[in-house]
Every structure is written in structure tokens, then in C-alpha cells.
Amino acid sequence: MTGQDEPSLTLPRRFYRSVDVARLERGYAPQLDGRTPRSPQNALLVAPTEALARLLAEEWDAQREVIDTARMPAVRLAFTALDRVAQVRAEMADEIARFGGADVICYLADAPADLAEAEAEVWGPWRDWAERRLEVSLLPVRGVIHQPQPAAALERLRGLALAEDDFALAGLAYGAALFGSAVLAYAVRLGDLSAVDAFEISRFDEAFQARRWGLDAEAEHRREAMTADAVMLGRWFAALRQDPAEGA
């Protein structure tokens, strides 16, 4: 089969001229020529706060000739919150607890000694934060071999996740996967840590080794892409923390 015989994969063309935000009965929504876009499962794209709706509208407005959802991470996360979270809340809470059970900030290098000391200095305060702020006590581990964390801590993480609304739970699951850390995801959720700082903390050992040995182009490209994801997540949680009554 030649390339001409293969079906072409084309993105949908931008079909709207204006983008705005409107207050609706159930929240706030981006407006495309005065109409509310819908999710893949046909749910209206309505956000709980005006700030989040404006973040979503910004991504719609950034599309030019075509609509590329690969460049719309907040919209995709909102679709997840609308279409999927309600059906899999328990599974998502379990996944967040599993990230806590293997949280990156608990696994200290056994060598070299200067890396282990630096990790303890950077990660230790966030384990302390988790105990103080979340009532979650996680134990430090030396080396990469998995060690179980206290069952009570993981159950606490699971309960905290289940107490979140669908939009926050979607963000927490996204953050836990991005950082490899339930603790850092919660710190961003609560506004005690910026998402970019959380990402840098999560990759502290990688950055340490890169300073010593250098970072290849592929790893640098991956870091830049993940930093962009962190920026979006920080804006997502900041928008969710806005009082829904504000901006009316």
C-alpha cells in the first residue's frame, strides 16, 4: 500500500469565531460562538469555577486553523472529570494511594552519600508536611527495593481522595502520576507548593545526576514537556480554589 492509499488523519477545522465564558445554572462554561462545547460523552463542558472555565476557554481560543486536543491538556482533563471520574472514583482513589505506597519522596538513594544526603534534605520536609497537613505518616526507605508503607497512611490517602469532587480528583490522579508522588500532588492541590516546584522536587535525583553527567537531548525534551504539564496542573488547582461565588 502506498502512502496515497492510506487514509489521511486530519484534525477537525476550527468551526467557531469567538470564545467567551458564561455563567450557567451548574457553574461556568467556555462559549464557542455562544454555545457550550460538549465532552466526547456529550456532557456540557461546565466547570465549577469561573477561573477554570477561563482556563478551558483559553485553550479553545488558542486553536487556530484546526482543533488539536493534544494541545489542550486542561480541556482533556475536564473531559476526564466529566465523563469518567464518577464511574471510577474508587479505582482512582486506590491508584492515588498506590502512588503514596511507592512515593518518590520516600525512596532515598543508598549511594552516593552526597545524593542521599541531598534527597533527605529536599524530600524530608515534605514527608513532615504530609504528617502535619494530611495526617499521613510515610516512612523513608533506603535504596530502590519496595518497602510497604503503613496501611493506615494509605487508607488515609484513599479517604482524602474520595472526599474530593470529580474535578479535584481528576487533578490529583494526574498530579500523582506526573510527580510519582501522592504527597506532592496533595501539596499542589492545597496550594502549599507550586506544581513546577513539585515536579522539580520529584525529579531531584535525575537533576542531581544530570548536573554531574549531563542531560541528553531526549531527556531534556521530556523534562520540558512534563514541566508544561505541571504548569497546567498548577493553574487547574489554582482555578479550583477560587470561590465559586467570585467573578459573578
The CATH number of the structural domain formed by 19-68 is 3.30.2180.10
DSSP 8-class letter at 85: G
Nearest CA-CA partner of 187 in 82, 118, 103, 246? 103
Question: Cβ contacts of residue 29 below 8 Å, gap of 6+?
Answer: 21, 22, 36, 37, 44, 45, 46, 47, 53
pLDDT band of 220, cuts 50, 70, 90 = confident
At position 105, the amino acid (one-letter code) is: I
Nearest CA-CA partner of 95 in 150, 175, 184, 192? 175
The CATH number of the structural domain formed by 86-240 is 1.10.3580.10
Distance of alpha carbon 173 from alpha carbon 167, whole angstroms:
10
Q: How many CB atoms lie within 10 A of CB 119?
A: 21
**3-class DSSP assignment, residue 16:** coil
Quote the pLDDT of residue 9.
63
Indicate where the chain has its CATH 3.30.2180.10 domain(s). 19-68
Can you list the alpha helix ranges (DSSP code H) found in the chain? 50-62, 73-83, 89-101, 113-129, 151-162, 166-179, 182-189, 195-202, 204-213, 217-240
At 163, list the grid cell.
472526599
Indicate where the chain has its CATH 1.10.3580.10 domain(s). 86-240
Mean of pLDDT values over 29-46 = 98
Read off the pTM: 0.90
At 6, list the grid cell.
492510506
pLDDT of residue 30 exceeding 70: yes
Q: pLDDT tens digits, residue range 159-190?
A: 999 999 999 999 999 999 999 999 999 999 99
Distance of alpha carbon 118 from alpha carbon 38, whole angstroms:
47
DSSP 8-class letter at 102: T
> Percent of the chain having pLDDT more than 70?
94
* The residue to which cell 545524593 is assigned: 115
At 173, list the grid cell.
490522579
Distance of alpha carbon 59 from alpha carbon 169, whole angstroms:
21
At 191, list the grid cell.
496550594
Q: pLDDT tens digits, residue range 117-174?
A: 999 999 999 999 999 999 999 999 998 888 999 999 999 999 999 999 999 999 999 9
C-alpha 134: how far from its chain's center?
19
Q: pLDDT tens digits, residue range 223-236?
A: 999 999 999 999 99
pLDDT band of 7, cuts 50, 70, 90 = very low
